[in-house]
Amino acid sequence: MTRTDVPEDRPARADVEGPELLARGFRPYERYRIVLHHEDGSSDVQSRDIIRAGSVVGVLGYDPERELVVLIRQFRFGAHLVHDRGDMVEIVAGIVEQGESYEAAALRECGEEAGVVPRALIPMLRFVPSPGVSDEFAVLFLGLLDSAALPQQAGAEAETERTYPFAVKLDDALAAVEAGRMINGYVIIALQWLALNRHRLPALLAGVATLAGAATA
């Protein structure tokens, strides 16, 4: 018998049929038929619709010299519809292109959305933002960069993307989360990771410096 008191995701016993393409827009929208088998021997038949988003990277910019986090403003239509707060504060994020590594995607997205490419990336965590409706899989990094080099505006013109980078103290960003002034899941998760790992920053930064020195030796 599988233990159910262990807080760990595990494989499901599911037979999957599909996909049936329902719509093809910015991301494919598909339908699947699933037979889900339970531990008691019973089974359920389900029909599930899902948006195929794939792998996504997110980068919380951090300037260690000034102790500032780097965020961006960007319009999000979903938030505009639901909360009339479409001018969202976010971290840099974007889809990993085919054949691209997570690290390469993170550097590229920072250059596009923040206007600055980090000098180093520190892995943070991985998560699925909304597994009930999407297969989106997020990989987050802490990106070490110079906040003084931020432009007033950035974004990929080919994607009709316009972003506004800015830098704030970590405590001010965390206070904004606590007060409910920022509601984007990526930015909340990234800032909370940094808050929980704040005591480890000197060791993490020293490790990055050591690697950089070894690479140039």
Pairing assessment for the beta strands 137-144 and 55-63 based on DSSP bridges:
parallel
Looking at the DSSP assignment, which residues form a beta bridge with residue 167? 70
Q: Which of 17, 20, 97, 159 is catalytic?
A: 159
pLDDT at 5: 78
Residue 176's Cα: distance from chain center in Å? 19
Mean pLDDT, rounded, for 201-214: 74
Q: Of 135, 117, 133, 139, whose CA–CA distance to 186 is shortest?
A: 139
pLDDT at 120: 95
Taken in order of first residue, the domains within the chain and their CATH numbers are 14-51 (no CATH), 55-216 (3.90.79.10)
Sole residue written with tokens 């989360």: 177
Element of type H or E holding 14: strand 14-24
Nearest-angstrom CA–CA distance, 121 and 59: 8
Mean pLDDT, rounded, for 16-44: 95
Q: Of 97, 86, 87, whose CA–CA distance to 57 is shortest?
A: 97
* Residue 217 predicted with pLDDT over 60: no
Q: Give percent of the chain with pLDDT exceeding 90.
A: 82
pLDDT at 180: 93
Tens of pLDDT, residues 119-165:
999 999 999 999 999 999 999 999 999 999 999 999 877 777 899 99
Question: Do the beta carbons of residue 52 and residue 99 sit within 8 Å?
Answer: no
Q: Which two tokens stand for residue 70?
A: 């780097």
Q: What is the mean pLDDT of the chain?
A: 91
Nearest-angstrom CA–CA distance, 167 and 162: 17
pTM > 0.85: yes or no = yes
Catalytic residue flag (residue 159): yes
Element of type H or E holding 92: strand 92-95
Question: Do the beta carbons of residue 97 and residue 105 sit within 8 Å?
Answer: yes
Pairing assessment for the beta strands 137-144 and 120-127 based on DSSP bridges:
antiparallel
* Residue with the larger pLDDT of the pair 1 and 111: 111
Torsion angle of the four alpha carbons 51, 194, 125, 203, in this order, in degrees rounded to the nearest 10:
160
Nearest-angstrom CA–CA distance, 111 and 162: 13
Tens of pLDDT, residues 63-119:
999 999 999 999 999 899 988 889 999 999 999 999 999 999 999 999 999 999 999
Mean pLDDT, rounded, for 187-199: 96
